[in-house]
Structure 1
């Protein structure tokens, strides 16, 4: 009896030392996990919920009265809505990659989230720059409508680029792979053909400024400018990821 009491007292005295040793071993790893992977997951999860909310708003009764909802192609005629949808998908894939338990599935989801995020990084900048450039110079970026809520324009034309930058800074790695580059330029060609198809069906371009200036000069100039901008931003993002952000991340890990 007395021997058992002495053993319990010995274990009680040793417990704080064992806990301290465990904390010293795990503490750097937990700090590193919270500062990278956990922060990225929180951002991706909140971003995904926000993107889904805005996406679903386009199915509301008020949204159905907007010019973009009427006619062939619905809101998917617009580069802005396509870009928003792609960002929503990559945010969802990033969350799934973090929560799935199967290693093979996790790698597959993470790879596709990475490729779509890199593609969306360039596409978001194209949407923002081209929209405000056309709007400030011609006021013909979109068909005017009093039904369009005031929050919608800044959300889909500014927040999209902010999200792209936050993902770049918080994600553990953005590779800007060859597949991502192929996706980017494949989408550029597909969207140009899609715009022509919509114009053929509707009898006019969905972007008012293209109906004001002569065809095909205005269309070709716009397509060339968009393609060049996408390529430049993509390569800038690739350089930034591999030579600036990745280097600082490695430096932080060495300090840990």
Structure 2
């Protein structure tokens, strides 16, 4: 039988976790479910098909300090961020003509893996965010002051389209290469997108067999010594693991 002091300490820890992570269930006695939740503070975003992201047009709540990327003073969300917030009732996504895109349609956008995020990547993202971690796509800066022009066209719309097509092509070419998927930071109330610092670790998503020793060592060299963790998603179960070097003693 648990003592009252132990029970009080446990409840205090759970309350602290909920204070630190606003996306956990409001009830500490009930596990989180995937059903859409309803919140008093709801932000709005408009989907930009050419960019493959949603532009935040109405920002509410404190989660934006660690969610979304800033481009020329505007805030945008990747598809995994949009779905995570939409599931919790914290974000409404609309099409350019003002029609609401429901959660079911956002699921279909993820399942198509068209916008740089597979369903397995989303499940890893959702798991980490639900634990309070700060998660961002690897190789994507939090802020950019100037647009990157991919071609010499005079049409901004055409530039965006070609940038997106080139990005998708490069992703397809590297699909079999072991590479980080997310940068993961520890929960931090003082986190700033303008100076995020080094992530706590880089997360690599695995889709098949475990990586070979040479693959891990090559990846470690490319990641400048940042800690690596690997993730495998199987029928909704998200597993994390890492590799350490051990020197076995010489047997007599």
Return the TM-score normalized by structure 2: 0.27
Q: Where is the strand percentage greater, Structure 1 or Structure 2? A: 2
Return the TM-score normalized by structure 1: 0.26
Q: Where is the helix percentage greater, Structure 1 or Structure 2? A: 1
